A and B are shown apart, each in its own frame.
Chain A
């Protein structure tokens, strides 16, 4: 066994332990526990010792005994000797050590003799570390959004680190921000507007896109290739360059501050991608079915209604979900076109709310939770259908 490998292994694994415990300490701090130091050196030294011992003890000791031994030393030093910390903190530490011990179980003399052992260890720990870190970094803002919406203004100002939710208060106090934004900020109406706009966009887009996609997928006509390539190029063009001309034209036509104006713009911007996705699917439907229908003297309209539509329900519903998500999340056009609070969509309403510096932040976060939940729900629930569409680049962002 190379000494170098042993040392590198110990360093990497103790870094991993250190980062796990640091994340745990951050989480604990956010639950209101006062911790002011990571105690980096001590944890690092302990981690180094454990990794080192792990190699020497080998199978001489039972895994459970070994892990309990480590855990006991660690908890004694970190949670008792340095500063006295509550039981639940130490239970978390014990779990982390269990995780750590089970991950380091497979590294032994034989493994370290392996030529690429250090690289393998680095890859393993980077993966583990990456998973932990990325889940934390991604989920934390969402978690913060949710928790802040349950807090009061005073609690937020007193200790911005306290992220615990007080479940002892009654429901009305807990959901106060939600009650307020519905009663005094009119969020019910905004939800309604947003739903009408999004569902309307889905409906109109499908009505326009299905025939066009069918024509591009199946029929031969002059300008077909041009059309299918220009769809992609048009899709690349940014909304921001459309804003000024559309604003001027819509002002003169009186379409600003109206739901119909938004519907027109949203439909036009989602049409290219809807056509693109649908025509791809229509091409995969066997042609023989339609040939039989043509022999039966079915019109084109009949073919679309009776053959194509029933066969492409999954594709159409995934396109519908996408269009819904795009329209629901849309912000730029609603910012430009809507300046009358009566016609605000949810996104625009939240932005308007934040424009007033006096608006308490928990209301802002409650609004954010309301606008985020439907999208995340749809995404998680229909994930299987949606992921393949995302790979086709269906949500521009």
Chain B
């Protein structure tokens, strides 16, 4: 009885989880592996469309001969590059139709014309016509004739399925793609975005953790940037930062902080002179990072606030009795208590920022020194139309991610051992 129950339990469990598992496998795991396959191939965007035979049907009446009708099929190969082999054609006609000048490649049987057109080279075109005699000269319904569409089939090579592999994509990614610059930009974007959002998260959580009027309202407001759609926020920021008629530039010029407007999203470098040290700040990248911090610090804020509210009050009371200063209380009590949350946050934000595509894409499109790895996937795959290269860059992303996860879990394991 027990055994039977557990067997049926297993069976139910598999039935219940199967649909979800299949879907996730097909849409998430399969593409990750498919990337490996594609990245070793030379595939362009235009190659991925499978060549297919196409036919456009035109019905013509023949003047003076009421009982005859001409049907013209404009046949063509949809691909400009590949041939189609073994093209078959089939179309059905009303019962009273009889073909007069049937092509020798075709046969007429059971009101159907079946043809075998053989191989079509790339760009192939042909006007194929059949004249029909109509036995009882009933009225011909052109629409009805057109509604039965011809069926065509043929074999062609799917460039994705053959076994020609090449290492060219990876060579190009590493040697021709300004790879070091790409990695550095991605690293700056990820690292400073993560650290910034955590710092602001700590600051705001500390703020909201105090009692003041309108605290719950403040908490929702702080989360707005995180839940609102990226598209809306990115375009609003673009408008705000616009050099010609943007609000920020106008304000800065109006209050005489700047002499001329500055293109915060379009200028790659800004020379800065502080105490005699001059260095080049990557301006557009900095702006994008600031947007990233603005948009994602709410997550850090929420995590840290939840942790702060769970710290026992008597810790602080004891510190008060000992005469600790507010700074001491923060560094000796609060910080150690939220350290665990911060390390989790660091990992989550680091991985998510590393993969962030939309923000940079919408703000700068990857121009003026903001080209990160995810942006590069898009540029290679869709702007330059080199699918193979895009996949190779995706593989680089996946490998780096696995590396981060490996280190993180190792670190996490170490922590767990210590406790």
Which residues of A does B touch, CB under 8 Å? 26, 29-30, 35-38, 115-116, 119-120, 122-123, 126-127, 130-131, 134-135, 137-139, 141-142, 144-145, 148, 156-157, 160-161, 163, 208-209, 211-212, 214-216, 219-222, 224, 227, 233-234, 236-249, 251-252, 264-265, 267-269, 271-272, 275, 300, 325, 328-329, 331-332, 335-336, 346-347, 350-351, 354, 361, 364-365, 367-369, 371-372, 375-376, 379-380, 383, 387, 390-391, 393, 395-397
Size of chain B's interface in residues, with CB distance under 8 A? 98
Complex-state Cα separation, A166 to B19, whole angstroms: 56
A144 contacts B254, C-beta separation under 8 Å: no
A251 contacts B48, C-beta separation under 8 Å: yes
A36 contacts B255, C-beta separation under 8 Å: yes
Q: What are 25 A-to-B residue pairs whose CB atoms are below 8 Å?
A: A26-B251, A29-B251, A29-B255, A116-B325, A127-B206, A127-B210, A134-B207, A144-B240, A145-B232, A211-B16, A236-B401, A238-B354, A238-B397, A241-B31, A241-B397, A242-B32, A244-B387, A245-B35, A245-B391, A251-B49, A347-B231, A354-B235, A361-B239, A383-B216, A390-B223
B13 contacts A38, C-beta separation under 8 Å: no
Complex-state Cα separation, A265 to B351, whole angstroms: 21
Complex-state Cα separation, A220 to B34, whole angstroms: 32
Question: Cβ of B250: which chain A residues have Cβ within 8 Å of it?
Answer: 160-161
Complex-state Cα separation, A365 to B235, whole angstroms: 8
Asked if B264 CB lies within 8 Å of chain A CBs, one says no
Q: Which of B60-68, B97-105, B115-123, B296-304 contacts A (4 or more CB under 8 A)?
A: B296-304
B222 contacts A134, C-beta separation under 8 Å: yes
A331 contacts B229, C-beta separation under 8 Å: yes
Nearest CB of chain A from residue B56's CB, rounded to whole Å: 19
Q: Chain B 243-282, CB within 8 Å of chain A: the 1/0 string?
A: 0011100110011100000000000000000000000000
Complex-state Cα separation, A246 to B394, whole angstroms: 13
Q: Which of B4-12, B79-87, B138-146, B410-418 contacts A (4 or more CB under 8 A)?
A: B4-12
Asked if B403 CB lies within 8 Å of chain A CBs, one says no
| A391-B302 CB under 8 A given contacts A130-B207, A242-B31 | yes
A215 contacts B235, C-beta separation under 8 Å: no
B30 contacts A245, C-beta separation under 8 Å: yes
Seed contacts A35-B254, A138-B294; 15 additional CB < 8 Å A-B pairs: A26-B251, A138-B222, A145-B236, A163-B247, A208-B23, A220-B13, A227-B21, A252-B48, A268-B26, A300-B16, A329-B228, A351-B362, A368-B233, A379-B224, A390-B302
| A138-B221 CB under 8 A given contacts A215-B13, A379-B227 | yes
**Of A220, A245, A325, A351, which one neighbours B227 at CB under 8 angstroms?**
A325
Nearest CB of chain A from residue B295's CB, rounded to whole Å: 8
Nearest CB of chain B from residue A141's CB, rounded to whole Å: 5
Question: Cβ of B19: which chain A residues have Cβ within 8 Å of it?
Answer: 208, 211-212
Complex-state Cα separation, A130 to B27, whole angstroms: 44
A144 contacts B239, C-beta separation under 8 Å: yes
For A208, A209, A383, which residue has the most chain B Cβ atoms within 10 angstroms?
A: A208
Question: Cβ of A211: which chain B residues have Cβ within 8 Å of it?
Answer: 16-17, 19-20
Complex-state Cα separation, A36 to B257, whole angstroms: 10
Question: Cβ of A30: which chain B residues have Cβ within 8 Å of it?
Answer: 247, 251
**Of A219, A350, A383, which one neighbours B232 at CB under 8 angstroms?**
A350
B302 contacts A212, C-beta separation under 8 Å: no
A212 contacts B207, C-beta separation under 8 Å: no
**Of A36, A161, A300, A328, which one neighbours B12 at CB under 8 angstroms?**
A300
Asked if B124 CB lies within 8 Å of chain A CBs, one says no
A233 contacts B405, C-beta separation under 8 Å: yes
Complex-state Cα separation, A371 to B294, whole angstroms: 19
Nearest CB of chain B from residue A272's CB, rounded to whole Å: 7
B232 contacts A234, C-beta separation under 8 Å: no
**Of B12, B24, B374, which one neighbours A240 at CB under 8 angstroms?**
B374
| CB nearest to B404 among chain A residues | A236
B227 contacts A395, C-beta separation under 8 Å: yes
**Of B27, B357, B362, B382, which one neighbours A268 at CB under 8 angstroms?**
B27
| A244-B381 CB under 8 A given contacts A131-B207, A144-B239, A272-B24 | yes
Complex-state Cα separation, A127 to B35, whole angstroms: 49
| CB nearest to B381 among chain A residues | A244
Asked if B327 CB lies within 8 Å of chain A CBs, one says yes
Complex-state Cα separation, A315 to B331, whole angstroms: 37
Complex-state Cα separation, A337 to B31, whole angstroms: 15
B227 contacts A216, C-beta separation under 8 Å: no
Residues of chain B in range 202-225 having any CB-CB distance to chain A below 8 Å: 203-204, 206-207, 210, 212, 216, 218-225
